[in-house]
Amino acid sequence: MLKGYFRAGDVLVDTCLQNPNEGHTLIYPILFCYRHALEMTMKGILDSYGHRYGVAAPTPNHSLLLLWEACTAIFIQIDDEGAAISTSTVEKLIKQFHDLDARTEAFRYPEKKDGTLIDLPSEPFDLIGLRDVIEGLDNFFSGADGYLDQLCPASDEMH
Question: What is the chain's pLDDT, residue by residue, as a tens digit (159 residues)?
Answer: 888 999 999 999 999 999 988 887 898 899 999 999 999 999 999 999 999 999 998 987 889 999 999 999 998 887 755 444 567 889 899 999 898 887 777 788 777 778 887 777 777 789 999 999 999 999 999 999 998 999 876 544 444
Angle at 72 between CA 68 and CA 76, to 5 degrees: 175
What pLDDT is stored for residue 84 in this prediction?
45
DSSP annotation of 116? P
DSSP annotation of 87? -
What pLDDT is stored for residue 154 in this prediction?
53
DSSP secondary structure string for all residues of 118-147: P---SSPP-HHHHHHHHHHHHHHHHHHHHH
How many helices (H) and strands (E) the chain has is answered by 5, 0
What pLDDT is stored for residue 86 in this prediction?
63
- The span from the CA of 147 to the CA of 83, in Å, is 9
Q: Is the dihedral of CA 77, 66, 147, 133 positive or negative?
A: negative
What pLDDT is stored for residue 36 in this prediction?
94
